[in-house]
Amino acid sequence: MFTDLWYFYQDRKIEAEVKLTGILNLGALQPGDSRKYGTTIAPGLYAPVHQHFFVARMDMSVDCKPGESHNQVVEVDVKVEGPGDANVHNNAFYTEEKLLKSELEAIHDCNPSSA
């Protein structure tokens, strides 16, 4: 279950907040270790990659003049790990990030096969 809240400030800032409920799924890390299939959230602790779907339409020029780039949007896609020694159960996936540099670059339909 989730709730979403929108905050509109007098300085024109807009903030979106999404809150999720549920039991956290975490894993332990040895000092200096990291996981391709998770994000380090504290020393010695990581959260496995998982998915939630939130959709919003954005105007990338909000609070910017043409040619400025104060605002940034990063698209996070899920990539499936191919079968092999690193994925013996064929269920591993990880994320790749892509900076969307313009509204034109950001225009596309969601790919349901990559989420």
- Same-domain pairing of 83 and 44: no
pLDDT tens for residues 5-52? 888 888 878 787 887 777 778 899 999 888 888 889 899 999 888 877
DSSP 85-115: TTBTTS--EEEEEEEE-SHHHH-----TTT-
- Same-domain pairing of 104 and 61: yes
88 within some domain = yes
105 within some domain = yes
- Same-domain pairing of 82 and 98: yes
- Same-domain pairing of 42 and 60: no
Residue 99's domain spans which residues?
Answer: 55-109
Split into its structural domains, the chain has a count of 2
| Residue bearing tokens 């200096």 | 32
- Same-domain pairing of 61 and 37: no
Burial class of 93 by CB neighbour count within 10 A (0 to 12, 13 to 18, 19+) = middle
pLDDT at 77: 82
pLDDT at 61: 59
For the chain, the average pLDDT equals 79
- Same-domain pairing of 46 and 59: no
- Same-domain pairing of 75 and 34: no
Whether 79 has a pLDDT exceeding 80, the answer reads: yes
Report if pTM > 0.75: no
| Residue bearing tokens 């959230």 | 41
92 within some domain = yes
- Same-domain pairing of 68 and 82: yes
